[in-house]
Amino acid sequence: MADTILVNVNRCTGCWTCVMSCKTAYELDLDTNRNFVRTIGGGELDTPGGKWPNLYMKWMPIWKQSCIQCHGVDGTDNEPYCVYNCPAGALTYGDPDDPESKLAKRLEELRDMEYRVYQIPEWEDTRKGVMYAENGI
């Protein structure tokens, strides 16, 4: 499974930089996104889930089928723009089947910390090759 993006959901701050970096790099129209960030729990954008006083904020970046699975940035193991520009270090790119890849090593670290690793189904209009890892949220 080459060309995979791994999302550490625990690290995602919902900043949308992954979306804006793709839009900027490819000069996409204002209304066109190849990815977006879903707020989990609150029902609306950037609203907390849970009930007072036990509220939480959680986000999940989603890549649409319109994502061209680019190898954006030279000199960075060809990381896609969205991965390279994530300021929270939530995204890792690589080949999970290559044990020497950055992604395979990160996956191993997260599994050692008992992160749950999963993919979301394609009926959500998502592109292939995105894995999610989260722990305790």
Q: Which positions lie near ligand SF4, rule CB under 6 A?
A: 12-18, 22, 34-35, 37, 59, 61, 63, 67-70, 72, 80-82, 86, 88, 90-91
Q: Least separation, in Å, of the C-beta of 94 and ligand SF4?
A: 13
Q: Which residues pair with 37 in a beta bridge?
A: 61
- Residue (64 or 99) nearer to ligand SF4, CB: 64
Q: Least separation, in Å, of the C-beta of 17 and ligand SF4?
A: 4
Q: Where are the alpha helices (DSSP H) in 1-137?
A: 17-25, 81-84, 102-112
Q: Least separation, in Å, of the C-beta of 130 and ligand SF4?
A: 10
- Residue (99 or 118) nearer to ligand SF4, CB: 118
Q: Least separation, in Å, of the C-beta of 5 and ligand SF4?
A: 7
Q: Which of 105, 112, 119 is nearest to 9 (CA)?
A: 119
Strand-pair category, 4-8 with 130-134: parallel
Angle at 92 between CA 26 and CA 67, to 5 degrees: 30
